[in-house]
Amino acid sequence: MKLLIALASLFLCWAVVLSLSLPRRIVNCDDQEAHEVANIGLQHVNAIHKTGYKFALNAVDNIIVQPVPTGEIIYLELDLLETKCPSLSPTPLENCHVRPVIDQAVEGDCDMKLFKHNGTYTITKANCKSGLDSAENIRRICPDCPPLAPLNNTQVVHAVDVALHKFNGGNNTAFYLLREIGRGKIQSGISNSVHVEFVIAASNCSIDDASSGDATCVEETGPDAHFGACSGSVVKIQGTVDEDVSVQCTIYENQPGIVSQAGAPQVPLAPSQTNVGQPHFHHNLHHPSMGPHSSESNSAEHLSAHAGHAVKRSLTGEPVPPNVPLRPVCPGRKIHF
Ligand SMILES: *[C@@H]1O[C@H](CO)[C@@H](O)[C@H](O)[C@H]1NC(C)=O
Ligand SMILES: *[C@@H]1O[C@H](CO)[C@@H](O)[C@H](O)[C@H]1NC(C)=O
Ligand SMILES: *[C@@H]1O[C@H](CO)[C@@H](O)[C@H](O)[C@H]1NC(C)=O
Ligand SMILES: *[C@@H]1O[C@H](CO)[C@@H](O)[C@H](O)[C@H]1NC(C)=O
């Protein structure tokens, strides 16, 4: 009897599920609509990824549009590439150059779920991760290009330190603090050169305050809060003690809206990461700041679950004749590489 009731309710559930499952709407990965949704997803990812660099779209790997009675649920798989713009940079993403392969590119993957209702999208899930291109890949096209060094490498940390010191010794009025090390590369040979990229933040001290030695300088958070992006290199000829330090910084306009993360260390040397114990070479997209959505299950399983009972239908909802497979053209083409 119990079994019968169980079977009956199972059947009822199925009936409800089946009556609710509207035909999928076919959207190809390179349709304008797919790219529009992808850019909405990407904006969200860049907005919550507050360390490292902004990401740009490289390809829409998959898109599934499932109409539901209240709107549409969209499952997206995005292939992203790291740009050269720090996350804190006010530069619009369109103007940010993707890092070339010889710089050891960083690729990101995001599984996202969006809900479209009355023309507006809500992101209900974003699950991203990122990884470095292999060092072998760079060596193949550029045998002399050094791979990335860990962000906490002592030579990298030293180079950032002396480069920032040099910058603060220039004729700025504000005294800048290190906010984050973005990248480091070490090229050894007859001379040892260390190239670094880092982000700085204006402190509440003037250069004079700071050089007086007894001032406490913290990141400026008021209307004068602003940041800058620097690249520096420290070259040391073998057998000498002198270092040749060069540094260039771009100071951004005031960004009072972006206050330092509460409780963050004043001088965060390395980003907070999830897999402790491993040296970090880049700022992983899978960051705690991705919020609660990131820990949700991977939407790939939804993609396959939906693909499982995908029925062949035309855009108008009419069943299509058999042996005319109607599937979205995916993945889309790679925009960069
Ligand atoms: C739908 O969007 C339009 C325009 O954005 C708005 O005027 C309308 O109130 C919205 N309707 C609902 C039910 O949210
Ligand atoms: C000082 O600032 C001026 C104007 O911003 C610049 O042209 C000059 O190169 C700076 N000098 C040094 C030593 O950085
Ligand atoms: C900067 O702010 C900190 C904390 O509010 C304060 O202790 C310090 O005196 C300030 N420094 C200057 C130079 O005003
Ligand atoms: C860099 O960080 C990794 C992981 O936290 C750690 O194992 C390693 O000892 C650190 N290296 C240096 C030079 O601090």
Ranked by mean pLDDT, the top range of 223-232, 236-245, 297-306, 315-324 is 223-232
Name the residue of 204, 206, 208, 211 whose CB sits within 8 Å of the most ligand 3 atoms, as the mutation to test its pocket: 204
Task: Identify whether the C-beta of residue 303 lies closer than 8 Å to the C-beta of residue 77.
Answer: yes
Asked if the model's pLDDT at residue 129 lies above 70, the reply is yes
pLDDT of 144-155, one tens digit each? Answer: 889 999 999 999
Question: What torsion do the CA atoms of 141, 142, 145, 151 make, to the nearest 10 degrees?
Answer: 0
**Secondary structure string (H, E, C) spanning 178-231:** EEEEEEEEEECCCEEEEEEEEEEEEEEEEHHHHHHCCCCCCECCCCCCCEEEEE
- Quickly count: other Cβ atoms within 10 Å of residue 264's Cβ: 13
Least confident of 10-19, 141-150, 305-314: 305-314
pLDDT at position 21 over 60: yes
Mean per-residue pLDDT over the chain, rounded: 82
Report the alpha-carbon distance of residue 29 to residue 190 in Å, rounded: 49
pTM (2 decimals)?
0.81
Which atom, in ligand 4's list, is nearest to the CA of 154?
13
Instruction: Compute the distance between CA of residue 30 and CA of residue 238 in angstroms, rounded to an integer.
Output: 53
What was the pLDDT predicted at 213?
83
How far apart (Å, rounded) are the C-alpha atoms in residues 78 and 334?
A: 11
Look at strands 106-117 and 243-251 and give their pairing. unpaired
Higher pLDDT, 50 or 317: 50
> 35-74, pLDDT tens digit by residue?
999 999 999 999 999 899 999 999 999 999 999 999 999 9
Contacts of 191 (CB under 8 A, 6+ apart): 235, 236, 237, 238
Q: How many CB atoms lie within 10 A of CB 207?
A: 16
| Mean pLDDT across 129-134 | 93
- Which domains are delineated in the chain? 2-136+284-307 (3.10.450.10), 149-275 (3.10.450.10)
Instruction: Compute the distance from residue 174 Cα to the ligand 4 centre, in Å.
Output: 32
What is the structure's pLDDT at 175? 96
Pocket of ligand 3 (CB under 6 A): 204-205, 209, 215-218
Q: Is the pLDDT of residue 110 over 50?
A: yes
Mean pLDDT of the 192-220 span? 93
Specify the range with the lowest mean pLDDT, choosing from 166-180, 224-238, 239-253, 259-273.
259-273
The answer, yes or no, to whether any atom of ligand 4 lies below 6 A from the CB of 158, is: no
pLDDT over 50 (residue 317): yes
Cα–ligand 4 centroid distance for 246 (angstroms) = 26
pLDDT the model gives residue 289: 39
268 pLDDT higher than 70: no
User: Does the C-beta of 275 come closer than 6 Å to ligand 2?
Assistant: no
The CA distances from residue 170 to 72, 224, 236, 248, in Å, are 56, 20, 22, 11
Q: Is the pLDDT of residue 320 over 90?
A: no
